[in-house]
Chain A
């Protein structure tokens, strides 16, 4: 119970820090960076649900991110829809595309699934890049409006946008938390463990994989729509493979299949690459080896590593406790035996 309380306290402190951040950091650049990081985190949570908890590595998620972003842009600018209607429609449209991609892609497994989705992601990139009349092609897509006011709430200032994105992030984390500790979440984990075993328990793996994939696409498209309304300029490169591998790096560094992973990984990697900015592209010379070392020594990422360390410590403590109990019992037994013997010998 105490552990749970401590965790809740930590969580409250973290949320408080996130809320106070723009009030104490006067530098607008940092607020901007933080907002962007939150958007990446939402996308990475989407990826984490499917790759981390269900065990299927999708490499199409940058594509879905881009579809969400472009759909918002096209619906607001070209179709003139009200912002929030377009926002919801962008997410739903991307999710629908996710259903169709999932229906085909999920007929493959393991590496083949990864390769197939990599191709899907690249095709999405090509479509955005070449479909000039709809997406603006390489010139990009400009003039996307900032989020429209909701009653008295206005999202015109960077701080207000920061809070809007933070709100969505918290909702996503909350949903993920509820999901992972529910039967549905355990069903996904069961599929990750062994699809065959899941089947022999009566789990329809296809249905569950599709549901997980679609929900994961939904989160990522939400991030894409937020990105479009925050940056307000889109280029086809947001669908490119390098964005996909950024997501994957955040997830792997933070810890794949953990709840804290996306937050930890995204913050750490964005912060590090900011600090190494002065090295320009040479920073990859530092980054590459660090990442390699991390994967070798902490294959479960930072959050995953900590969880395992704690579990090991807990186990050690339990064994110690049991040993102490056993020796105490032994001592008590021998004491009793001795006293009985003394009593007999009188």
Chain B
């Protein structure tokens, strides 16, 4: 569904991503594993159109999207849930969710349905719907960030480190929810450092190091791979 072919990205003379090729099939959860600075976020920003690649192609269902501006890419259904839980802190939870539905702003019924869906997925958001997003706890903010991304009814959801800075119990819930979102029909590309948790819900994984892919395979293969275990799981 989403294909990234021979993508390279540079910051000035520094090559942040070198000749990366991978794909996410419809209905899958694919995970990009890698340490800080491996280039995962840059890759996400490139897929979202915030960075233009110097070479390569990004295709959604066979059509190139790498030359489109970011807002049009969202319109095509490739939606990024930004790392670091970027919200609109002074807007209420409800208003944040509405902003997520910006591309469907004319479809009031559709927005109501998506809103109901997000509230069912994260009941706490319904409870806190009138509170400013800035007053939520870290886990709740992450839920709101994912909920807001879901409001645009993505075909492919890009999740950048959803577990970062969260308590272990919340991380577990978060991955269970991500799995549920996937089972409801959204294709997911997940960037994670938490390899064990991520591979436990993923179908396929890619290991990212220094801007390039060094290993790939199904989740089971990667979990069984000694190098991957040593580097990312410990033991």
Contact = CB atoms under 8 A, between A and B. Distances in A.
Interface of A: 183, 186-187, 189-190, 193-194, 196-197, 199-205, 315
B35 interface: no
A186 B71 contact: no
Nearest to A311: B132
A138 B200 CA distance: 77
A189 B87 CA distance: 12
Given A183-B105, A186-B98, A202 B74 contact: yes
Question: Taking each of A186, A189, A197, A201, which has the highest tally of chain B beta carbons within 10 Å of its own beta carbon?
Answer: A201
Given A199-B49, A200-B70, A201-B148, 8 more contacts: A183-B102, A183-B105, A186-B95, A187-B102, A190-B99, A196-B50, A200-B48, A204-B71
A322 to B, nearest CB: 12
A199 B50 contact: yes
Contacts of B91: 186, 189
What 9 A-B pairs come out closest when comparing CB atoms? A202-B74, A202-B103, A199-B70, A204-B71, A202-B71, A200-B80, A197-B86, A202-B102, A201-B102
Contacts, number: 55
Interface residues of B, number: 24
15 contacts: A183-B98, A183-B105, A186-B88, A186-B91, A186-B95, A194-B86, A199-B69, A200-B74, A201-B103, A201-B148, A202-B79, A202-B152, A203-B71, A204-B69, A315-B135
Contacts of A201: 74, 99-100, 102-103, 148, 152
Contacts of A193: 88
Contact of B71 (A183, A199, A315): A199
SS class of chain A's interface: helix, strand, loop or mixed? helix
A187 B105 CA distance: 11
B4 interface: no
A183 B135 CA distance: 22
Given A189-B91, A196-B50, A202 B82 contact: no
B85 to A, nearest CB: 11
A8 to B, nearest CB: 20
Contacts of A204: 69, 71
B7 to A, nearest CB: 18
Contacts of A197: 82, 86, 88
B88 A189 contact: yes
Nearest to B50: A196
Nearest to B70: A199
A123 B226 CA distance: 68
A62 to B, nearest CB: 30
Interface in B25-60: 48-50
A200 B83 CA distance: 12
Nearest to A181: B95
Interface in B94-128: 95, 98-100, 102-103, 105
A288 to B, nearest CB: 31
Contacts of B95: 186
B75 interface: yes
A117 B92 CA distance: 34
